[in-house]
Each structure stands twice: as C-alpha cells, then as structure tokens.
Structure 1
Amino acid sequence: MTYIKTLPLSHAPRLPHISRWGSLAALALLGSGLAQAQGEAAQQLPTTPLTVGFQVVQAQVARTPEQRATGLMHRKSLAPNEGMLFVFEQPATQCFWMKNTLIPLSIAFLDDKGAVVNIADMQPQSLDSHCSKQPVRYALEVNQGWFAKRGVKPGFQVKGAPFGPQP
C-alpha cells in the first residue's frame, strides 16, 4: 500500500496546487480508461510446450502479477490443446475465479515438480473461488473437461521446462 504525504493547506500554493491535482486527476482518469480498454483484449504471452500423458499442451506462461490477474479473460475460445500456465514465485495456496472469463475452464494445481495436486472445473463469469488443496507454484488452465477426458487425476505428472529436468 502506498501512502501519500500531504501538506497542510496553509503551506500549499493556491493555483499550482489546484492545477497539479487537476492534472493528476486527469492522468488517473486517462490511465484507468486505458487500463480498461487494454483489459478488454485477450493477452498473448510467450508459450511453452507441456506434456500431459501423451498430449502436448501449448501453454501461454503468465509470470507477472498483472499477467496472472488477466489470465484467460476476454477470450471467446481456446484451441483444444492450448492453455495457460500460471507461475508463482513460491508455493502458496492459490485461488482462482472466472470474472470476465467467457469460456468454461478446468484448472489443475501443480506442485514444484509438476505433479497434479487437485483439479477443479470453473464456470464462465463466476466469482466462485477454486483453490489449491495445498501450497502450489503452478496452475494450468485448459478447456473444461480436458483433464477428465484424458484421465488426468491428482498425482499425475505434467512435464516441461518450467518444472525443471524430469527423471
């Protein structure tokens, strides 16, 4: 949280003070308008192939807090073997919701080595939270039902560069 130190009114210059605050307000409004306009477009991130059983998922990789917050919002579709891998700095209980997400998704929460901890199905435009059952560093979102159709369950190993060398 950022705190702003303010001066007492007796120390503030009159017209420049108003202009400065007016300029700041205008910039804030412009910035929020740009953020809203940008937020309505689906983000495109670098991809990495992940091997899930005999299937390869081309997963966009969301590493920054901003990328993770946007996730798969505003997409109208997702190709059958596409997804998004969310990468967190350290293991923690991770929770996801589907605000502004237009397509039904399944999410697998993955430990440091890529083992599936738990899987949840998520409905579009929902504020319901779906959380990992234990601390995880990764989450993989794909089209809803993708994991179930392939028999992927907790304990299943996902392989790929983000999880380091595999035995």
Structure 2
Amino acid sequence: MPCFRGFPALLGASLLGAFVPVAGGCARGHWVEVAGERYTVEVADDDEERARGLMFRDALEQDRGMLFIHDRAEPRWFWMKNTRIPLDILYFDESLRLVSQQRNVPPCSSGNLCPTYPSELPARFVLELNAGEAARLGLEDGDVLRLGPDIQPAP
C-alpha cells in the first residue's frame, strides 16, 4: 500500500539530497499484533485521519490494516461511508483488550444513509482489517492488541 502522506515534503527533501522522515498515518514501520499475527498499519490519530479512514480504497493488502487511536475510551461507532472494502472492525479498550467486534462489515456507497456499527463497550483503539481476519484468527473478546514500539498514544 503506497504511503502518500507528506509526499511533497519528502520529494522536495530528496531533490535537495536530504532525507526527512514523514510522520503521521503512514504505514511504514507501524505495526500491531493480535492473536500472534502482525499487521502493518496506518495510524489515524487525529480527527481528519479518523474521518477519512479507509474511504475510497479499492483494496487492502492481506497483512495491512488501519489503527484508529482516540484520546479516551468511549462508546464508538463506525460507518462505511465511501468505503469500498469489506472490513472487520475491532474495538479495544484503554488496556488494549478486545471489547467488541463487528465482522464482515459490507462496503457502503449510500453516503449519509450508511448504517453505523457500534462498539458494545467503551473503546479507545479501533483496528480495521480485511473482512474475515477476525474469524480466521479466532478472535474473542478479551484478546489483547500489542502495539509496535513506534506507536505511542498520548496518555
């Protein structure tokens, strides 16, 4: 999955012969583990990134996902507005324990008429993976999400 965030700055720096690391939601280097499986993730940790999510994507590589980080645990609900990929939506609490799952959520092109998919309990972290991954892994509520060392949510 290409990483375009900050691309102009990176291109400009490379033309000058310098390397400038690109921060933010890029997948490069960010990973999480759940049920012993590692996924490279894009991190959505601000309102703009969380609102955009995986909209307008035609595919998500098998070992990839998106991790949404919120400031605090609250009841959450996601929708699939302009999302073209069926997904599993996994909700985790402050201690990174799985508290709710929405599996095999279908794409939606109905704009603001798309249904929402709520968490059953307050969640701070939400992991979106390709539909079927939760079943393949046999995920159960209480399973723990492990964050890679470069993902440092604010306390």
TM-score range, shorter chain: 0.7 to 0.9
**Deviation string for 1:11-66 (max 9, x for gaps)?**
xxxxxxxxxxxxxxxxxxxxxxxxxxxxxxx9752231111122101110001111
Check conservation: 1:93, 1:131, Cα contact below 8 A. yes
Identity %: 32
Q: CA RMSD in A?
A: 1.9
For residues 142 and 43 of structure 1, do their structure 2 counterparts lie closer, same or farther at Cα, with a shift above 3 Å needed? Answer: farther
Check conservation: 1:75, 1:102, Cα contact below 8 A. yes
Q: Which residue of 2 aligns with 1:46?
A: 26
Instruction: State the alpha-carbon separation in 1 of the partners of residues 91 and 142 from structure 2.
Output: 11
2:123 equivalent to 1:123: no
Instruction: State the alpha-carbon separation in 2 of the partners of residues 137 and 50 from structure 1.
Output: 15
Instruction: State the alpha-carbon separation in 2 of the partners of residues 153 and 69 from structure 1.
Output: 27
Instruction: State the alpha-carbon separation in 1 of the partners of residues 84 and 62 from structure 2.
Output: 16
Correspondence list, 1:140-151, <5 A: 140-151=127-138
Which of 94, 106, 109 lines up with 2:76 in the alignment? 94
Check conservation: 1:59, 1:85, Cα contact below 8 A. yes
Correspondence list, 1:102-117, <5 A: 102-117=84-99
After TM superposition, the score normalised by the length of structure 1 is 0.69
Structure 2: which 5+ residue stretches go unaligned? Answer: 6-24
Q: Larger C-alpha radius of gyration, 1 or 2?
A: 1
For residues 101 and 54 of structure 1, do their structure 2 counterparts lie closer, same or farther at Cα, with a shift above 3 Å needed? Answer: same
Instruction: State the alpha-carbon separation in 2 of the partners of residues 89 and 132 from structure 1.
Output: 16
Read off the aligned partner of 1:131 and give its amino acid letter.
P
Higher RCO structure (Cα 8 Å, ≥6 apart): 2
Structure 1: which 5+ residue stretches go unaligned? Answer: 1-41
Matched position secondary structure for 2:48: helix
Structure 1 moving runs of 4+ over 2 Å: 42-47, 161-164
Higher helix share: 1
Q: Which residue of 1 aligns with 2:49?
A: 67
Q: Which residue of 2 aligns with 1:9?
A: none
